[in-house]
Chains A and B, each alone.
Chain A
Amino acid sequence: MGLMQRFSTLFKAKASKTLDKYEDPRETLDYSYERTLEMLQKMRRAVADVATSRKRIELQAQQLQRSAAKLEGQATQAISQNREDLAREALTRRQAIATQLTDLQAQHDQLKAEEARMVEASRRLQAKVDSFRIRKETMKANYTAAEAQTKVNEAISGIGEEMGDVGLAMQRAEDKVAQMQARSGALDELMASGALDDASMSSDRLQAELDRGFAEPAVEAELARLKGEITGGSTTAKQLGASGEAAAEPAAETPAPAQAPVEEERR
């Protein structure tokens, strides 16, 4: 037997299991209708779950993008300080983030496709539910007719088949969401541990070194100035003026009194 036949037989056997039949066809119709409504509700919850997971991925991606941008800025800063080692480290981290971002994008696309498929399946099921409700009432009214039983059975297997189909789609989406949540959780942990260095934590040491890169020339300058004061040379004062400008940024951290003696000397 071909795959098509076997797949059909087993699919239908599974689908019909979702609707245990009552002896009275009228009861079976009501029961089937209720089960279909339940399925529709479950489906809507599943769509919401997929959307939530998708949003979580989007947030993680945004966070990673911020980290990547910050690391890129740090790399530029490091190069301007001639610290190739630091630039290399920043870029390595940025590369790791880029890999994660590519993975996230792929997952995001998958979930989006899954979401679209489920929305479409919900729409089809909704149309069937509406149509089934009308048919159910008509059939209940004249189910005594000879052919009614066949029609009822047909309608019920038709609706059962649709539910089986929707159930399969839902299960697949749930599996994907579960996989994704596990990965997403792992990524959160990676970020928290600093292994993947999210901008706030990861680059602390990197930033400290870069700050030192700015601070060191300033310290050297101060040193030179003090030495100059002791030897009393006027040329050192000029040098100080130049390096004082270069060290403008970290000057906020270095104590202000450093400037005062300069003013005195200039007078």
Chain B
Amino acid sequence: MIVRISGEGQFEMPDGHLEELNRLDGDLTKAVDAGDEAQFKAALETLLASVRTAGEELPADWIGPSDLVLPSPDATIHEVREVLGDEGLIPG
């Protein structure tokens, strides 16, 4: 599975790590729903750190789509909402 961290690059994740990512994603989603910026920062940092340590960074000249795209480390709730656009944050 290929995961992109916006502004940082793409990582190849080992099989079976998705469960961990989903768990961390749950924390991140809660933080965004609550609009808690500090909690969001912490949850995002944990999620990205997990990708960086478990995954292997792909070379810059590798071309291929990612299965998942994650916000950049310095992203704010506001920026994430902007990308999500009018969809709002109600889980679909």
Contacts and interface: CB of A to CB of B under 8 A. Distances in A.
A212 interface: no
A155 B64 contact: yes
A3 B69 CA distance: 10
B71 A131 contact: no
A157 B62 CA distance: 12
A187 to B, nearest CB: 25
B66 A4 contact: no
Contacts, number: 89
Interface in A129-165: 130-132, 135, 154-155, 157-159, 161-162, 165
A127 B61 contact: yes
A117 interface: yes
A3 B28 contact: yes
A124 interface: yes
Interface in A192-211: none
User: How big is the A interface, by class?
Assistant: 20 to 34
Interface of A: 1-8, 10-12, 14, 117, 121, 123-124, 127-128, 130-132, 135, 154-155, 157-159, 161-162, 165, 168-169, 172
Interface of B: 4, 6-7, 9, 21-22, 25-26, 28-29, 32, 47, 59-72, 79-80, 83-85, 87, 91-92
- Complex A-B, nearest 8 residue pairs according to Cβ-Cβ distance, in ascending order: A127-B60, A131-B61, A2-B25, A157-B65, A4-B25, A158-B63, A127-B61, A158-B64
